[in-house]
Amino acid sequence: MSTLFSPLQVGALTLPNRIVIAPMCQYSAEDGNMTDWHLIHLGQLALSGAGLLIIEATGVEAIGRITPQDVGLYNDDNQAAMARVLKAMRQHSRMPIAIQLGHAGRKASSHIPWEGGQALGPDEGAWQTVSASALPHAAGEPAPLALDAAGLARVKAAFVQAAQRAQALGIDAIELHGAHGYLLHQFLSPLSNQRADDYGGALENRLRFPLEVFEAVRAAVPASMPVGMRLSATDWVEGGWDIDGSVAFSKALAARGCDFVHVSSGGVSPQQKIPLSPGYQVPLAERIKAEVEVPVFAVGLITEPKQAEAVIAAGQADAVAIARAALFEPHWPWRAAAELGAQVEAPPQYWRSQPRELKALFGDTRIGAR
Which residue among the candidates 182, 199, 280, 350 is catalytic per the annotation?
A: 182
Distance CA 146, CA 62 (A): 17
Q: Go through the chain and tell me how many residues it has.
A: 370
Closest-CA residue to 241 (of 169, 189, 289): 189
The answer to whether residues 138 and 127 touch, using CB atoms and an 8 Å cutoff, is no
Distance CA 251, CA 15 (A): 23
Closest-CA residue to 110 (of 96, 127, 94, 93): 127
User: In 285-310, which positions are buried (b, 16+ CB within 10 angstroms) versus exposed (e)?
Assistant: bbbbbeebebbbbbbbbbebbeebbb
Helix or strand (DSSP H, E) at 183: helix 183-188
Phi then psi for 171, rounded to 5 degrees?
-65, 145
Give a three-class secondary structure readout of 217-255.
HHHHCCCCCCEEEEEECCCCCCCCCCHHHHHHHHHHHHH
27 is catalytic: no
Strands 8-10 and 13-15 turn out to be: antiparallel
Identify residue 320 by its one-letter amino acid code: V
Residues designated as active site = 182
